[in-house]
Homo-oligomer: A and B are copies of this chain.
Amino acid sequence: MNSPDKKIVGAWTSLVKAQSTVRCEIDAALKKAGLPALEWYDVLWALERGEKDGVRPFQLQSQLLLPQYSVSRLLDRLIGAGLVECRNCEQDGRGQVAIITEAGIAMRARMWPVYGAAIQRALGDNITARQAQTLIDVLEKITAPARGTRAGR
């Protein structure tokens, strides 16, 4: 019952393998360069392009698709490394705002060339821009399903 079509299963398998392949390349490149892991980059980048007076942890949570405690601890470590600062939120006594430091900005700037080069090697050297666009178009359907198309609606 509701067992998916073979092609759909194949697509899922390909998705997993491709993601894993690229991810390994990136992780290895960052490690080899003595840089922090990709998760740190994601946080730094989210903070850098977010409101400059700070981003709330729960916003990071939804942007990065991470569980709440994971964001909490990730911020702990980034703060410990001096890449992020945390202040009490003025509008909400329960909340915090995370702000990227100068060191954090510098670190992200150091990470990007390594990260970007790894993406290029793993992805850019193997697919065309046109294929990339195709990928984006199809994958977005998964991430943001069209309204009214899902079962049960």
Contacts of A134 on B, CB cut-off 8 Å? 134, 138
Q: Is A73 on the interface with B (CB-CB < 8 A)?
A: no
Count of residues in A whose CB is under 8 Å from the partner chain: 53
A70 to chain B, nearest CB (A): 13
A14 touches B135 (CB 8 A): yes
A15 touches B18 (CB 8 A): yes
Stretch at the interface among A79-87, A91-99, A102-110, A121-129: A121-129
* CA of A139 to CA of B127, assembled, Å: 9
Q: Is A35 on the interface with B (CB-CB < 8 A)?
A: no
B8 touches A142 (CB 8 A): no
Contacts of A4 on B, CB cut-off 8 Å? 116-117, 119-120, 123-124
A121 to chain B, nearest CB (A): 7
* CA of A145 to CA of B134, assembled, Å: 18
Of B9, B119, B135, the contact of A119 (CB 8 Å cutoff): B9
A7 touches B129 (CB 8 A): yes
B125 touches A17 (CB 8 A): no
